[in-house]
Amino acid sequence: MREILIRPDIVKYRTFADFAKDYTIGKRDLVLTTRLLKEKYIAPVLGGGPCVLVQEVFGEGEPTEEMIEKMLPAADFASYDRVIAIGGGTIMDIGKIFAVRRTGSVNDLFFRRADLYRDKELICVPTTCGTGSEVTMTSVAIVREPSGGTTKLGLLDEKLIADTAVLIPQFLEEIPHKPMAESLIDALIHATESYLSPDRATITTDTFAEKAIRMILSAINAYGSGVDIRRACADEMLTAACYAGIAFLSAGCGLVHGMSYPLSGKYFVTHGAANYVFFDAVLRYYDDRDPAGKISRFRAMIADALGCDEKDAIQALADAENVLIGVKKMSEYGAMEEDVDLFTESVFANQMRLVNNACVPVGPEDVRRIYRQVL
């Protein structure tokens, strides 16, 4: 099997100012970011040099087809040579689209009706500890389905891998607890799904995934002991999220992500929160179906990291996550019984790459059962 190892250059800076100085950010750069990051970190350092697009001007929350379509005309494609995406997963997902040639609509790109050509240098600077998008080949957006509804869809292509990933722990120091916690659990899910990948996991991906899982659990344990992990563990959390991204660049994600996308697409639930809804239920499904399979190695790892018996590892993991932030049911985001069948249909129509990467075989009835468990 062919591995994609570490494609972007990965660099780390203490502050945004240090990064900006080394990379001489100027008028031929396009910076994509959020209002808060622009005001607090970017404008004081860069002034009026580069073109800066602020996401909230075009739409709030997760990236949508409409949001990206509004943003693209705001920057002439010929006016910039580099795209510098500074933010969470939304910003980096959008940044990847700004780095490719405009050969069709956003909908055409995501449904692969338009060709994908990479024309611009891409630098991704994560400001959360979750998505790993700075090192992946995926751009995710909520798009219109042919049926008229909406779903969350991933566009996968090696042309979307950034040239450089820049890690700056300074950005995590004042992140609010809720997005920090959801991001950290999202990184844990990325690493876990990569580790449990049945066919695509390799020695390399297992190594990065296990390291990420242990680093994240160490940070969660520190939080449970009263440590302000945003400051004390910022470097470790940012690094762990990057490691998780490296793991799923090759090994891929699985059923948790596949089931979360319809929930995000219909009710605009943030990526980390939506994944968290299904994480424990999917792990228990794997454990029930094949307790002696690769899930047994995962249980042993978690037991070692959390200091519990292996038979209690999955429950201990859920308990540790709950100390960081409580998990919600689908209904708390607005989902209803009628969504179970609709979401199941969407999973098997649009997310088979993720279903096929589940740790054990899964069919529509299994997915319906899990949806009902967490409704």
pLDDT of amino acid 1 = 44
Cα distances (Å, whole numbers) of residue 81 to 100, 119, 165, 362: 11, 8, 17, 45
Asked if pLDDT for residue 245 goes beyond 80, the answer is yes
Asked if pLDDT for residue 31 goes beyond 60, the answer is yes
Rounded distance between C-alpha atoms, residue 193 and residue 328, angstroms: 20
Higher pLDDT, 117 or 5: 117
Give how many domains the chain has, as a whole number.
2
Asked if pLDDT for residue 3 goes beyond 70, the answer is no
CATH of the domain at 99: 3.40.50.1970
Query: Mean pLDDT across the stretch 286-304?
Result: 96
Nearest to 263 by CA among 176, 156, 374, 364: 374
Query: Mean pLDDT across the stretch 154-177?
Result: 92
Residue 15: which pLDDT band, with cuts at 50, 70 and 90? very high
Query: Mean pLDDT across the stretch 321-339?
Result: 97
pLDDT of amino acid 204 = 87
CATH of the domain at 226: 1.20.1090.10
- Reported pTM: 0.89
pLDDT of amino acid 203 = 86
- Whether residue 245 sits in one domain with residue 166: no
Q: Residue 211 burial by CB count (10 A; 0-12/13-18/19+): exposed, middle or buried?
A: middle
**Structural contact between residues 282 and 193, judged by C-beta atoms closer than 8 angstroms:** no
Residue 250: which pLDDT band, with cuts at 50, 70 and 90? confident
Q: Is residue 357 part of a domain?
A: yes
Chain segment 258-287, per-residue pLDDT in tens:
999 999 989 999 999 999 999 999 999 999
Which helix (H) or strand (E) element contains residue 85?
strand 82-87
Nearest to 41 by CA among 101, 106, 93, 86: 86
Secondary structure class of 254 (helix, strand, coil): coil
- Whether residue 155 sits in one domain with residue 201: no
Q: Is residue 1 part of a domain?
A: no
- Whether residue 160 sits in one domain with residue 261: no
Residues 6+ apart with CB under 8 A from 17: 45
Q: Which domain holds residue 348?
A: 177-373
pLDDT of amino acid 5 = 56
Query: Mean pLDDT across the stretch 119-136?
Result: 93
Residue 6: which pLDDT band, with cuts at 50, 70 and 90? low
Taking only Cα atoms into account, the Rg of the chain, rounded to an integer number of angstroms, comes to 20
Rounded distance between C-alpha atoms, residue 199 and residue 176, angstroms: 37
